[in-house]
Chain A
């Protein structure tokens, strides 16, 4: 697969694989972002996940809160230094409890802050771990800020293989993982190509049909639900809630291209499960996030890079890298060659993170840009890859969420600080007036000093 240069978001729509994609309602466009510009612009949230820990020695900055120097891994963020916070001293305490192995617990808990359920995922001397036992922070935020956007949230993935607890970070609720979409073309079709009908009358008929069917179907789920035992009810609860999101979408605007909301040339087909495609797929997914924000189709997105224990070989960073990410991440501190390679992997992730910030800064909104009203959380499921340490997690927060966070700082603290507090801080950033997130046994209130 030949890597292509990233494509301009503003490039003309050619469609997928060269075929034209019909666009709905081009003649009925009305301003989307402009609509918001009179009022307060909407806030937006992005979760950015990379696995297998980092190289702490090469990750943490030096210096004080306002007088700090970027580390080797964070160097690619130089141009955004004033717009990010490096958050140290926060621990994944919840992941020391409950069933599951270190990777399972870290993955299921990094965004939920709940111990895992009992279940039948193998990994702990038997079939022991289940899904995470609570809603993830992005979904909680989405419930509150989605407004009348077409999608409450969009889950993007890059080479996320597997479909068990080590491959899922986003949860709609306890035991309800949301899978990411690895294929930009499929995501594009889903978000921007939901045509269904090519005129308003046709659209109206389609919506009526969907309403009738969903109502009828939901009635069947409800009456079946009443007859079932607890476990089966939980399954149907999730299903009914998912049907609910389809109902919510009825009557909402589909995409209208104008202003900053412009079609994206997604290029030819790429195999999303080919590791050599990762750089290109990642860029496309980030372009799609930026585009979805520009079109105000969603306000919450997540981008999950691979998965916990991923064995992707990052050989596009150099032929010398021949081992998968997970085995590399486990090399001892004294193995300088391999630690340097792992550092380059994490540095590359930081460079891609910088690209996402660039993409959001390129979209004007009000007096500033979309980035000004966004906060991006970079999380991992481990802190230190070679020993599964989950203390002092390598958190980066980019953006101020509309001025909520003062940026340009390296904030850290001592002692055991459950990451539940960081999650509460994020709730507050979105004006969600709650002081507990995740399992309450890990404390309440926001992170001090952020």
Chain B
């Protein structure tokens, strides 16, 4: 799969229209399996997903019959009160946890193990502190057996893309939070994942950096267009970035409401425009207020 990714997708990183890469843009990307060639889709299917944690004596149900479908290349943002099982959902999608009942499927097959096709970006960056920026980005490519020449070219391109040229040999500790998260994002995107999972990736950043990172994420994402599941506490962030927003109820988490942002944001989607312009739009504000109302009712119910 690494090979398939390297063959086609990376041309698109130069911010050319994704149309370059027909198979990928239209229906998924091609994987050669021996002589056969199949087309994989990158949609996510959550089917009656239940997740329970056994604590001291008591069993806590984090997610309850969660049903949802994320289309290929769709950008879905999940919001909900603290403890509603958002992170659990993401960890299950990454293959780091398994549901107590129900199924989570990527492209029609049940997710069993973590792997580079399901990249995850964590809130605390989770960079390897003893590896330089360059080796952090290189890690996934190297252990999956990509030849050095190819890797170096890719890494150079991504380091440039996230604006960190000159910092290749710095250690994470020497970078600001925003720079560290850029590295983490590059480390994920360079793998050309089928699905990108983001667990409150910008929550640890200050407001200015957060805004810059949102715009940068859109830029990198639109070149590659993996399917995205993005978790956030920021309703504004959700409305700005999402194709669709899923509001999850308080624990045990269920789908409370799904809102279609594309219907409001227009054909080219407002996330392509500067954040400070978009945030002033009345339709943006209206949607923001609606979602905040939904989330707030869940928080108030709780207390």
Q: Do A and B bind each other?
A: no
